[in-house]
């Protein structure tokens, strides 16, 4: 009986530590280059297992859940459009870190499609002696230059994960806080808990695998003329609600204005180069 008890305890401990750990970060952004007073804040998840980690928007998984429920209960008529509007996210990307192969995979929506690439730059951290306390964690300072910004990170060895939000990682502990020196982007750890497994992230549109340099080119094309970019690929245009007396030309004009306005509001990306 004693031996069976030890085996049961061992299996329980293995199952416990095999669980995925979710770290919730508050992401603060100034995405509009023409209006630095426009500050956006939303939460993002960093889910970590022994094999990989995934960083993505909390609103995204909530929207995916609503879409899935609506499709199961009658298609588009099942959507709560006000609820979907409240869950709009600036964080349209996800970052997956493959720990076994030491690869970072970035995915981002440009227009109707999802572009994905393997990060080809390394993070060269300078670990500094300065320490402080953030919340319940004793943290240490580190700095790096990445994506055209100077970043300061605070990591803790109390959480033994060499990981962090966005593409950040590779420090002796989990990154609790990261911010750029212009005060335009910051990530702050709010809480953490265990989840059973990674959720499935829905991918609408085509997934196009490219080199990072090609992704940057496509992103630039979209920012310069989003309507032309979305038209060049052919296929259906983004869905429009057509009322009984709606003029298709007017509807298209409103759609184009919305796309241009959204592109303008995201003119200060997290990576400048």
From first to last of its 273 residues, the chain has per-residue pLDDT tens of 555 444 444 444 444 445 899 999 999 999 999 898 999 999 999 999 999 999 999 988 887 767 666 666 665 555 566 666 666 788 989 999 999 999 999 999 998 899 999 999 999 999 999 999 999 999 999 999 999 999 999 999 999 999 999 999 999 999 999 999 999 999 999 999 999 999 888 777 899 999 999 999 999 888 888 878 877 754 444 444 444 456 777 777 777 777 777 777 788 999 999
158 occurs within a structural domain? no
**Both structure tokens of 16:** 């416990």
Neighbours of 190 (CB within 10 A): 10
Q: Given this model, what pLDDT does residue 223 score?
A: 84
State the greatest distance between any 2 C-alpha atoms of the chain, in Å, as a whole number.
Answer: 78
Q: Given this model, what pLDDT does residue 118 score?
A: 98
Q: Given this model, what pLDDT does residue 79 score?
A: 59
Q: Given this model, what pLDDT does residue 45 score?
A: 98
55 occurs within a structural domain? yes
Q: Given this model, what pLDDT does residue 68 score?
A: 67
Residue 42 sits at the vertex; the CA angle it makes with 161 and 214, to the nearest 5 degrees, is 75
Identify the bridge partners of residue 177 per DSSP, sorted by sequence position.
154, 188
194 occurs within a structural domain? yes
251 occurs within a structural domain? yes
**Cα dist from 181 to 58, 185, 273, whole Å:** 25, 9, 16
> Nearest 10 degrees: CA dihedral of 117, 41, 229, 235?
80
Number of domains in the chain: 1
Range of the domain at 40: 17-118+176-265
110 occurs within a structural domain? yes
**Both structure tokens of 269:** 């990306």
Identify the bridge partners of residue 113 per DSSP, sorted by sequence position.
110
73 occurs within a structural domain? yes
Predicted structure pTM score: 0.82
87 occurs within a structural domain? yes
35 occurs within a structural domain? yes
Report which of 118, 75, 112 is spatially closest to residue 92, judged by C-alpha positions: 112
Q: Given this model, what pLDDT does residue 226 score?
A: 82
Spatial separation of the C-alpha atoms in residues 113 and 180, rounded to whole Å: 29
């Amino acid at each position: 009986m004693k031996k069976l008890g030890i085996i049961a305890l061992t299996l329980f401990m293995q199952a416990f530590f095999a669980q995925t750990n979710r770290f919730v970060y508050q992401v603060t952004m100034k995405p509009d280059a023409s209006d630095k007073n426009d500050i956006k804040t939303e939460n993002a998840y960093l889910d970590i297992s022994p094999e990989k980690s995934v960083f993505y928007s909390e609103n995204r998984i909530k929207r995916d859940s609503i879409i899935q429920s609506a499709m199961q209960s009658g298609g588009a008529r099942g959507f709560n459009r006000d609820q979907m509007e409240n869950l709009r996210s600036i964080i349209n990307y996800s970052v997956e870190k493959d720990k076994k192969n030491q690869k970072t995979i970035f995915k981002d929506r440009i227009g109707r499609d999802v572009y994905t690439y393997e990060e080809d730059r390394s993070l060269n951290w300078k670990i500094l002696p300065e320490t402080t306390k953030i919340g319940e964690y004793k943290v240490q300072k580190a700095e790096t230059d990445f994506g055209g910004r100077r970043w300061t990170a605070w990591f803790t060895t109390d959480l033994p994960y060499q990981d962090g939000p966005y593409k950040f990682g590779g420090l002796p502990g989990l990154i609790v806080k990261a911010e750029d020196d212009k005060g335009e982007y910051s990530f702050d750890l709010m809480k953490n808990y265990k989840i059973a497994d990674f959720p499935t992230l829905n991918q609408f549109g085509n997934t196009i695998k490219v080199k990072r340099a090609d992704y940057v080119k496509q992103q630039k094309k979209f920012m310069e003329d989003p309507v032309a970019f979305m038209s060049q690929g052919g296929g259906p245009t983004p869905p429009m609600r057509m009322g009984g007396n709606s003029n298709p030309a007017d509807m298209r004009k409103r759609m184009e204005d919305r796309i241009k306005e959204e592109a303008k509001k995201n003119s200060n990306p997290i990576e400048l180069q």
